[in-house]
Structure 1
Amino acid sequence: MKNRVKEFRTSANMTQQQLADIVKVSSRTIISLERGQYNPSIMLAYRIALIFNTNIEELYCLASNKNQEDNENEN
């Protein structure tokens, strides 16, 4: 799933480890999130969104991801 976690994290001058520590996951989880290789639980997504003072929809590009999924399902 496309997301903006890395963009928000780097804008906040935060390392992957720092973010991981704050949301109580491993740095590997943050790396996987940023690469789009892992879809977070709703609670993890919410925690990360709160840290960056944004919402889940914006952080995880939900409208864009929905459109992509809709297009893939049409074919």
Structure 2
Amino acid sequence: MGDYLETKIREFRQKKGLTQQELADAVGVTRQTINALENARYNPSLLLAYNITKVLDQESIEDVFIIDGGN
């Protein structure tokens, strides 16, 4: 999907029972930002990726954000 990261945010967010708005509030962004991340239309800063990872109770950023080394 172009130059944007695919994520598992939606999957982990739903498992935790969080809405997009609740996750957005927890990490200090808008619901639209979470929606864009879930739909691979936005790349987060490293700090945002870290914060999302922690709120979703995942071990590492790589658990949430799919980093494909090959082009």
Q: TM-score, normalised by structure 2?
A: 0.87
- Offset, 1:61: 1.6
Query: Using the alignment, how far apart are the partners of 2:41 and 2:35 within structure 1?
Result: 9
**Larger Cα-atom Rg:** 1
Structure (1 or 2) with the greater helix fraction: 1
Query: Using the alignment, how far apart are the partners of 1:23 and 1:51 within structure 2?
Result: 8
Q: TM-score, normalised by structure 1?
A: 0.83
- One-letter amino acid of the counterpart of residue 42, structure 1: L
| Partner of residue 43 from structure 2, selected from 30, 39, 46 | 39
Q: Please say if 1:61 is aligned against 2:66.
A: yes
- One-letter amino acid of the counterpart of residue 66, structure 2: C
After superposing on structure 2, the runs of 4+ consecutive aligned residues of structure 1 that deviate more than 3 Å are none
| Number of the residue aligned with 2:29 | 25
Structure (1 or 2) with the greater strand fraction: 2
- Supply the RMSD in Å over aligned alpha carbons: 0.8
Query: Using the alignment, how far apart are the partners of 2:52 and 2:69 within structure 1?
Result: 20
Query: Using the alignment, how far apart are the partners of 2:28 and 2:56 within structure 1?
Result: 16
- Offset, 1:66: 2.0
- Offset, 1:27: 0.3
Structure 1 unaligned spans of 5+: 71-75
